[in-house]
Amino acid sequence: MIQALLAIGILLQDKPSFTVEQAADAVAVKSEGKEILRYQLVKPADSKLAVDFACYFHPFATPSGAVLTDVAPNDHKHHRGIFLAWFDMHGKKDADFWGWGQFAPVKDRMILNRSVTEPASGDSGSFRVKNEWMAEGAALLTEDLNASLRRQGAANVLDLVYTLTADAELKLPQRAFSGFCLRARKDGKATVESPEGEVKLPAPNHLKPESDWPAQPWYGVQITLPDGAQVGGAVIDHPKNPPALWHNPMSIRMLNPCIVAPKEIVLKAGEPLVLRYRVLAWDGGTPRDLVNSLAKDWAK
């Protein structure tokens, strides 16, 4: 009942105002004094994260303030909220920035923030970051990320545009997972949602790209918490992204539109790869009409 009243209150509000606050370790986006989104620039000193760097989003919260994301969960301590990384990269150096360590080195591989610019507060909160993907002191990629947060209906809407540029050829071999990932909280019971309804496909195998789920405009996770409250979120793909298969094992609450599942991706020197994702967080049950509408708008 309390959650329902909160949701009604959210819907009745005028457009909320978002404030972007930058500190040495993170960029936070707040609404009415509550932190809705944080982009972590450096690894917190007390973090259990298995990699030695940050450059991820956590928390990402619903309009009522319920946190959707998780960082360094017990089952996969290298998972980090909303993040972008691959575990198998071959160029000037071989590298694993995901943190798995099975196919390429993780030692001395770090995504480092170089700048935060263009913070803007108002009906939306936005900022821009530049990161370098470093392997033994050599930059394999330059990442330019534009992030913008707003509210629409019952959902918080996070728009992300990544521009990745290599100065030498960089190969991303065909693999079942990695790339853009949302790692959701693991308490309670979860289902996977799609534009058509609940998804009941077999869980994908992390070593078999062909076991990943078919392309969809979006997949979401709907969670019923131990106290009966419901929260959920979704990742919306973009038609201009390379084609993806989805690695969505609900045993670990992961949504992963994997662009290297269909085939190897090769970044040519000086030719940017642009990736666009829209991420939602909501209270209550899946607002399918809203998500479908936001996916249609995002595809324009």
3-state secondary structure 204-272: CCCCCHHHCECCCCEEEEEEECCCCCEEEEEEECCCCCCCCEECCCCCCCEECEECCCCCCEEECCCCC
| pLDDT tens for each residue of 201-253 | 999 999 999 999 999 999 999 999 999 999 999 999 999 999 999 999 999 99
> 185 with 68: CB under 8 angstroms?
yes
Measured in whole angstroms, the distance separating CA 32 from the mean position of its chain's CA atoms is 24
* The predicted structure's pLDDT at residue 271: 98
Average pLDDT, the chain: 95
DSSP structure class, residue 2: H
d(CA 161, CA 192): 24
Count other C-beta atoms under 10 Å from residue 205's C-beta: 14
* The predicted structure's pLDDT at residue 15: 77
Is there a cis peptide before residue 59, judged by omega within 30 degrees of 0?
yes
Q: Edge-to-edge, what's the strand order for the sheet holding 254-255?
A: 18-22, 26-31, 34-40, 56-60, 82-85, 179-183, 254-255
d(CA 52, CA 25): 14
* pLDDT tops 50 at residue 132: yes
d(CA 153, CA 289): 11
CATH code, domain with 293? 2.70.98
List the domain range (segments joined by +) for residue 52: 2-298
* The predicted structure's pLDDT at residue 203: 96
d(CA 284, CA 282): 7
* The predicted structure's pLDDT at residue 80: 98
* pLDDT tops 70 at residue 14: no
* The predicted structure's pLDDT at residue 11: 44
Q: Tokens 């009941």 map to which residue? A: 200
Please report the sign of the dihedral spanned by the C-alpha atoms of residue 234, residue 254, residue 193, residue 299.
positive
> 172 with 94: CB under 8 angstroms?
no
Using CA atoms of 162, 117, 16, 234 in order, give the dihedral in degrees to the nearest 10: 20
| pLDDT tens for each residue of 149-201 | 999 999 999 999 999 999 999 999 999 999 999 999 999 999 999 999 999 99
Residue 7 DSSP SS3? helix
How many domains does the chain divide into? 1
Count other C-beta atoms under 10 Å from residue 74's C-beta: 7
Highest mean pLDDT among 13-17, 32-36, 274-278: 274-278
